Structure 1
Amino acid sequence: MNEKEPPQLPSTTHEINGHVANALLNSQLDFLWEALKELVAFQSVHSTPGLEEHNSGAAAWCVEQFTHAGIPVESITTSDGSEAIIGLKKPAEGYPTLLLYSHFDVQPAGDVDEWTSDPWTLTERDGRWYGRGAADCKGHVVMHLAVLRALRQLIDAGCSELDNLGIRIVVEGSEERGGYGLEDLLHERPELFQADTFLIADSGNDEIGVPSICTALRGSAPITVTLKTIAQPMHSGQYGGAAPDALLELIKLLSTLHDEQGYVAVEGLNTAATWDGIGPSTGTFAKNAGVLEGVKVIGANDDIAPNDLTVMRPSITITGLDSLSVADAINAVPGTASAVVSLRVPPGMDPQECQDLLIAHMEKNKPNAQMEIHREALAKPFSADTSGPALQRLASALSDVYGRETVEVASGGSIPLTNELLSAYPDAELALYGIEEPLCRIHSADESVHPEELSHIGAAELLFLVRTAQEHT
């Protein structure tokens, strides 16, 4: 693990700087590895039949670990059946409460043959740690734990004012499948989420070694469309050519969603907005995304920057397709075909209105088939206000840990909880940051995390906590 010896612990917070914070987190690399190895082993994919024990096991693991780290947490079953781990170490009078968020649920592993090693066994390779959830978001769970352990070391060494901070823990169990259970809990019991600053560790740096705070997220407005043409698959020799093919009709319909250049062609969704912040070049984006030789990044021919398309404009992706599988192909005309149409919505646009436009487009281009459209859960886009003192303090901590200026970045992903928290507590500040730099390949095969990012982001979080206590002492 290349772990270093623990530093000489300071007896006052004024001795704690970026170097000390880095040393404290580097000394916990063994803990980070072992804890992440244990947590990755749980196949905690929410709402998947047969994985209930894995989800409950991951939740129980989080309860045990955060309780041991000094935060009295409990598991609360939410409206979507997931377990949320929530608890609070109360602040002393005059001190703020800081909420540390992460989630223990993960995306499915997908085709395990695409993984170099078992997705549920944390594996070290070429300086990175591989496994499903290593970055998104179990890596953040163990990072919070390491920070709390380091905080306790400092308190025991004489930095007693750090014990005055209020620390609230929220670890979600269904973020990857919509997260509405936690949102419902927030609406029903908002007191469980009260904090002065929300620290949402579920994002990442623009590249390794470049400290970043995420200031914009797209929302989402997906639908599932199903086409039916015949009652059941029929012999393609006897009926093919005359019987309408549901899969071909679906392909025709989906092809209307984009123009020949690959841009969204749904009326009302084809904007020309641009991103003014930091973002990858076309070449860097192609490398990070694994774009194959001979394949062009969309927008490259028109000199449109990748982040214009991944942050500031709607995008449509087909994230699921059901019909007849290649492996089980039979000589039959498909009678049913379905697709999940994932619509991402940029800041400034309303997800409900965008979903309505998508459905209207589908109905206008209805193929030769019966069509059913199911609306999936909406998520609002997010824009951060970075002018507050807490976010300025976090940016400074990141800069001191990394030794370079913190930049503002954006992400095409969505975290529904962000807007809900600020709606419930409008006077609070919210920061998005984390370990998920582009090479992590979150949601893909061979997901990984770089241990230096785990250590550095944890060190910045620790330094932020120290400086927050100093501000109120």
Structure 2
Amino acid sequence: MTENNTLTAESARAAVAEQMPWLQQALTDLVAFRSVHSTPGLEKDNAGAAQWVTDAFRAEGIPVEPHTTTDGSVSVIGVRDAAEGWPTVLLYSHYDVQPASDVDNWTSSPWSLTERNGRWYGRGAADCKGHVVMHLAVLRALNALIDSGDLDDETATALSSIGIRVVVEGSEERGGYGLEDLLSSNPELFAADTFLIADSGNDALGVPAVCTALRGTAPVTVRLRTLEQPMHSGQFGGAAPDALLSLIRLLATLHDDDGLVAVDGLTSEARWEGRGPDETTFRADAGVLDGVDVLGAAQGLNPNDLTISRPSITVTGLDSLSVADSVNAVVADAGAVVSLRIPPGMDPKDGQDALIRHLESHVPHNARISIERESLASPFSADTSGPALKLLSQALADAYGADETAEIGSGGSIPLSNALLEKYPNAELALFGIEEPSCRIHSADESVDPTEIAAIGTAELLFLARSGALAT
């Protein structure tokens, strides 16, 4: 497995490749759990997924334990202690997933890992169960290399001596505060010198990257009420104020005619200076239909100016009428979840305040408005100058056979990132992973390319094998 008494990228790829059949079966088993946090009726699925993760990491020599958190989820945490003078690396991922309520839009069952055209389809295949099994495959490869006796002393010492801490969350998608509360009350469970957060990805398939910028979130739930109860639209329609139409008018004020945010305190002229897709690539990645505008293009803006560097507002939930069950009545009550994304450099509380002020000052027809603040998450900006991040960047480039590793941004939010660095300010944190635009995370037909899992796993294995450079 080795060449010139060192673990080469080629050897690391081979070690991970040996684990891919196991990994596919493991991902099949894990995807089968409908582990959507806080959803009534799915308690057994969430408990089953947590137990599966616990058993799997214990089998690879990491003595993890389940921890029930304040939001009712179970996080799986444990550590193989480092030898004296060696650092500890934390491997993060999460086993909970987004709902797959739009089952009719899936080509195959979201809860059954299905291979088509070289990709593996299923809810969580990429986000983030694919990362869970990637970590496991790396540990399996690591153990197999140690047991083989073929490693040179330096590499064998590194793989045996580095501390490995595992944190697998159970509520990242629909909660998240449970793990942050556990970090606040029991920070020793998270102690590490390097945090490898595997919940991100690359701008393009086969192009290695580390994510250096994340937007935060500051959502609200807004509800308008205009009538005591729905009233017959033939008898009262035209004069009785319709709550749904009023809500639509209110939501329309959040953007200007070009589709850009039009809320005082949230407008911005910021531009993204890093790597990102051009309009044509973004159109293909996002599945924008032919003839439909990409927002900002007419104003000379690049997609990542709007998806990373500036606030964005999206309606992610709407309560009112079902088309299938429509009735001839004027709507009395309507509500929406308004998702606000906050770029690095902006305070999420200030952004949420600005959004609320706007909504309250633009209510049509004096409708009664109520607004509920949802959980805040701060944006994140990475420092890539430290030795661990440089080591990981080189490992990623070597794993992919690339000249360099790109630095990219993401519009997503991982609140734990800032919280970890607040507790451990001298640690380094890297965001990376198996997700790329074709994965369609959070959507129907979510999938992962197994070559990305293998490449990211190879990079993680190389990082661990080279960790002697970080030892003191």
| TM-score class, shorter | over 0.9
1:87 corresponds to which letter in structure 2? Answer: G
Deviations along 1:173-201, one digit per CA (max 9) or x if unpaired, are: 00001300000000000000000000000
Q: 1:254 to 1:343 in 2, by over 3 A?
A: same
Are 2:188 and 1:191 equivalent residues in the alignment?
Answer: yes
Q: How does 1:9-158 map to 2 (within 5 A)?
A: 9-10=1-2, 14-158=5-149
The aligned residue for residue 205 of structure 1 is 202
The aligned residue for residue 4 of structure 1 is none
1:259 corresponds to which letter in structure 2? Answer: D
Alignment check: 8 A CA contact 1:11 1:157 kept: no
Q: How does 1:160-239 map to 2 (within 5 A)?
A: 160-161=156-157, 162-239=159-236
Q: How far apart, in 1, do the equivalents of 2:74 and 2:239 lie? A: 51
Alignment check: 8 A CA contact 2:347 2:378 kept: yes
1:304 corresponds to which letter in structure 2? Answer: L
Give the C-alpha shift of residue 470 in structure 1: 5.3
Q: How far apart, in 1, do the equivalents of 2:272 and 2:16 lie? A: 34
Give the C-alpha shift of residue 469 in structure 1: 3.3
2:80 corresponds to which letter in structure 1? Answer: K
Give the C-alpha shift of residue 216 in structure 1: 0.2
Alignment check: 8 A CA contact 1:204 1:212 kept: yes
Give me the identity figure in percent.
66
Q: Superposition RMSD on alpha carbons, in Å?
A: 1.1
The aligned residue for residue 6 of structure 1 is none
Q: How far apart, in 1, do the equivalents of 2:413 and 2:59 lie? A: 31
The aligned residue for residue 377 of structure 1 is 375
Q: How far apart, in 2, do the equivalents of 1:324 and 1:291 lie? A: 27
1:315 corresponds to which letter in structure 2? Answer: S
Alignment check: 8 A CA contact 2:380 2:417 kept: yes
Q: Secondary structure of the equivalent of 1:15?
A: coil
Q: How far apart, in 1, do the equivalents of 2:122 and 2:470 lie? A: 39
Are 2:272 and 1:240 equivalent residues in the alignment?
Answer: no
Give the C-alpha shift of residue 239 in structure 1: 1.0
Q: 1:157 to 1:471 in 2, by over 3 A?
A: farther
TM-score by structure 1 length? 0.97
Are 2:397 and 1:399 equivalent residues in the alignment?
Answer: yes
Alignment check: 8 A CA contact 1:229 1:246 kept: yes
Q: How far apart, in 1, do the equivalents of 2:68 and 2:279 lie? A: 44
Say which of 329, 332, 353 aligns to 2:326. Answer: 329
Deviations along 1:75-104, one digit per CA (max 9) or x if unpaired, are: 000000000000010111011100000000
Alignment check: 8 A CA contact 2:2 2:8 kept: no
Deviations along 1:83-128, one digit per CA (max 9) or x if unpaired, are: 0000010111011100000000000013101001100000000110
Give the C-alpha shift of residue 165 in structure 1: 1.0
Q: How far apart, in 2, do the equivalents of 1:267 and 1:446 lie? A: 37
Q: How does 1:441-452 map to 2 (within 5 A)?
A: 441-452=440-451
Q: How does 1:334-373 map to 2 (within 5 A)?
A: 334-368=331-365, 369-373=367-371
Q: How far apart, in 2, do the equivalents of 1:463 and 1:440 lie? A: 25
Give the C-alpha shift of residue 163 in structure 1: 1.1
Deviations along 1:280-337, one digit per CA (max 9) or x if unpaired, are: 0100001000000110100111120000000000000000001011010000111010
The aligned residue for residue 410 of structure 2 is 411
Q: How far apart, in 1, do the equivalents of 2:22 and 2:418 lie? A: 33
2:361 corresponds to which letter in structure 1? Answer: K
The aligned residue for residue 305 of structure 2 is 308
Q: How far apart, in 2, do the equivalents of 1:231 and 1:325 lie? A: 20
Q: Secondary structure of the equivalent of 2:44?
A: helix
Give the C-alpha shift of residue 231 in structure 1: 1.4
Say which of 259, 264, 282 aligns to 1:262. Answer: 259
Q: Secondary structure of the equivalent of 1:214?
A: strand
Are 2:270 and 1:273 equivalent residues in the alignment?
Answer: yes
Structure 1 segments, 4+ long, off by >6 Å, are none
Q: 1:306 to 1:433 in 2, by over 3 A?
A: same
1:468 corresponds to which letter in structure 2? Answer: S
2:299 corresponds to which letter in structure 1? Answer: D
Alignment check: 8 A CA contact 1:288 1:439 kept: yes
Alignment check: 8 A CA contact 2:15 2:145 kept: no
Alignment check: 8 A CA contact 2:71 2:175 kept: no
Q: How far apart, in 2, do the equivalents of 1:27 and 1:276 lie? A: 39
The aligned residue for residue 435 of structure 2 is 436
What residue ranges of structure 1 are gaps of 5+ in the alignment? 1-8
Q: How far apart, in 2, do the equivalents of 1:383 and 1:21 lie? A: 30
Give the C-alpha shift of residue 68 in structure 1: 0.1
Q: How far apart, in 2, do the equivalents of 1:58 and 1:232 lie? A: 43
Q: How far apart, in 2, do the equivalents of 1:206 and 1:237 lie? A: 52
Equivalenced residues, count: 464
1:224 corresponds to which letter in structure 2? Answer: T
Q: Secondary structure of the equivalent of 2:33?
A: coil
TM-score by structure 2 length? 0.97
Deviations along 1:427-454, one digit per CA (max 9) or x if unpaired, are: 0000000000111000000000000000
